[in-house]
Amino acid sequence: MSRAFLAILQRDLVLATRAGGGGELALVFFLTLVVLVPFALGPDLNLLSRIGPAILWLGALLSVLIGLDRLFQSDEDDGSLDLIRSSALPLELAVLAKGLAHWLTTGLPLALAAPLLGLLVALPAEAMLPVSATLLVGTPALSFIGAAGAALTASLRRGGLIVPILVAPLTVPVLIFGVSAANAAIGGTIPFLTPFLILCALSLIALVVGTIAAAVALRQAE
Amino acid sequence: MENLACRRGGRLIFEDVGFRLGNGEAIALTGRNGAGKSSLIAMLCGRLRPEAGVLRIEGADDAPLQELIHLVGHRDGLKTSLSARENLDFAQALLGDAALPADAALERVGLAHIAELPVGYLSAGQRRRVALARLLVSRRPFWLLDEPMSALDISAQAMLTGLMEAHLGEGGAILAATHGPLGLDGATEVRIGP
């Protein structure tokens, strides 16, 4: 059983790195967005550093959403999903493996790239690490909330349009607590740990609820 | 299987289809295009819910039907950017009960020389053969084949007939939707629709 779990995880990681896998899509989109924002806002460094964490979080959220529709749809299109369904591995664990692989190839690289991109939005040096940490613990929530949405639209032709609309409202709490934790790290009245721990909790809840919801959606026969 | 009926998009595709498939037996499912052959196969692998009727398995200690079947359908379940060997290794890990290693299975279908190539580079017939090699990497009693002969050349069709005969000899069961002959002697024909 664990062999099947590892096989799905490993396959998705390999697929993301092969040509056309889309593993680099999120990172490039994130980079583009964050690079363009300072040009749009003009050379006001104070303004930039004040809204820097929000820009990084918004960029990360959109980058995760952008490739999400392919998470299950590519497997549905070529019949791999039938293969996964006929495995003895419970569908919940198969979804967990796919969600984990999605986070490792999108959320994790975004969190690691955040300190570097923080320079572009004039983030204070002492805030680099905390902002990166909020992305590190917050992006799993985005992957697993997204997995539920992607599973619902797996067999729809134009699912790419629906997934962001379906998923974006559900990610609002993650965005709010992610940005407020990042802002608390720069300075403010609330301690960093309060919103940060809620962010951790949101990720854990999404991990369980998102996985189960996605499995239910995939199991639903026509 | 008794009195199966299928409805898709509000339209009744077929009704009152029933048959029994025992160990070592094969069924050739025939019918005109659109008669519901693929829908019946989708029902057997749990992707479609029957409108009426029952699917029953006897004697298989409570294993759900999905864990007994080996599906090779229209959508071949192969990832184009993975090599043939990687695809088969993945299928083996997923389906469990390992039989032949991936390389030996590829040799049986005559594709040992392209094990390293990404499946996207292969021709339709070669891809079909890689999908059929999946039947050999894991042991499962019930083969569900949708148009298995399509895109195969004469020698590959003979090879597939050989594989099916060996599977039936080991006590397996086969249900194949087909237009052409399967080349199996004992296969019963079940016709859907007019």
Per-residue pLDDT reduced to its tens digit, B68-121: 888 888 888 888 889 999 999 999 999 888 888 888 989 988 888 888 899 989
Residue contact B81–A77, C-beta within 8 A: no
Mean pLDDT, rounded, for B144-172: 88
Instruction: Suggest the residue from B79, B82, B121 to mutate for an interface test with chain A (most A CBs closer than 10 A).
Output: B79
DSSP line for B95-117: H-SB-S-HHHHHHHTT-GGGTTS
pLDDT of residue A153: 87
Q: How many contacts (CB atoms, under 8 Å) link A and B? A: 81
In this structure, are B145 and B131 located in the same domain?
no
Which chain B residues contact residue A17 at CB under 8 A?
none
Among the partner-chain residues B8, B48, B66, the one whose CB lies closest to the CB of A86 is B66
Q: Would the CB atoms of B71 and A83 count as touching at under 8 Å?
A: yes
Mean pLDDT to the nearest integer, A10-16: 91
Q: Give contacts of A14 with chain B, Cβ < 8 Å.
A: 82, 86
- pLDDT-wise least confident of A151-160, A178-187, B9-18: B9-18
Residue B99, pLDDT score: 83
> pLDDT for A67-122, tens place per residue?
888 888 888 888 898 899 888 899 999 999 999 999 999 999 999 999 889 888 88
Task: State whether B61 and B148 are in the same domain.
Answer: yes
C-alpha angle with apex A58: A110 to A74, nearest 5 degrees?
60
Considering only CA atoms, give the Rg of chain A.
Answer: 18
Q: Could you tell me which residues come within 8 angstroms of residue B45 by beta carbon, excluding any fewer than 6 positions away?
A: A82, A85, A86, B65, B66, B69, B71, B144
pLDDT digits (tens, 9 = 90+) for B22-61: 888 888 888 888 888 888 888 888 788 877 777 777 765 6
| % residues pLDDT > 90 (chain A) | 52
Across the interface, whether the CB atoms of A3 and B81 are under 8 A apart is answered no
Two tokens, residue A189: 């009245």
Tell me whether residue B161 is in a domain.
yes
Instruction: Provide the shortest C-alpha distance from residue B8 to chain A (in Å).
Output: 8
Is B39 part of any domain?
Answer: yes
The answer to whether position B74 is within a domain reads no
Do B98 and B161 share a domain, yes or no?
Answer: no
The mean pLDDT of A162-188, rounded to a whole number, is 90
Cβ–Cβ under 8 Å, residues A60 and A139: yes
Locate the chain A residue with the closest alpha carbon to B70.
A86
Residue B52: its H or E element = strand B52-54
Tokens 């740990």 label which residue? Answer: A193
Q: Where are the alpha helices (DSSP H) in chain A?
A: 2-17, 25-41, 45-66, 70-78, 80-85, 91-105, 107-118, 125-152, 159-167, 172-186, 193-219
**In A41-60, which positions are buried (b, 16+ CB within 10 angstroms) versus exposed (e)?**
eeeeeeebbebbbbbbbbbb
Q: Which of A7, A20, A79 sits opposite B93 (nearest CB)?
A: A7
Q: Where residue A133 falls among pLDDT bands split at 50, 70, 90?
A: very high
Show residues of chain B in contact with A3, CB under 8 Å: 93, 96
* B73 within some domain: no
Which of A19, A20, A82 faces B47 most closely, judged by CB atoms?
A82
Residue B10 confidence (pLDDT):
67
> How confident is the model over A29-48, as a mean pLDDT?
89
Interface test with B, best of A82, A87, A218, A219 (most B CBs within 10 A): A82
Do B129 and B145 belong to one domain?
no
Q: How many domains does chain B have?
A: 2
Chain mean position to CA A94? 18
Q: The pTM is what?
A: 0.90
Same domain, B108 and B14: no
Counting residues of chain B whose pLDDT is more than 70, the rounded percentage is: 92
Domain range spanning residue B158?
Answer: 1-68+141-194
Q: Are residues B63 and B155 in the same domain?
A: yes
Q: Are residues B50 and B64 in the same domain?
A: yes
Average pLDDT value for residue range A40-69: 89
Compare CB distances from B73 to A8, A77, A82 and report the shortest one's residue: A82
Domain check: are B1 and B63 in the same one?
yes
Say if residue B135 is in the same domain as residue B145.
no
- Residues B55, B146 within the same domain: yes
CATH number (domain holding residue B30):
3.40.50.300
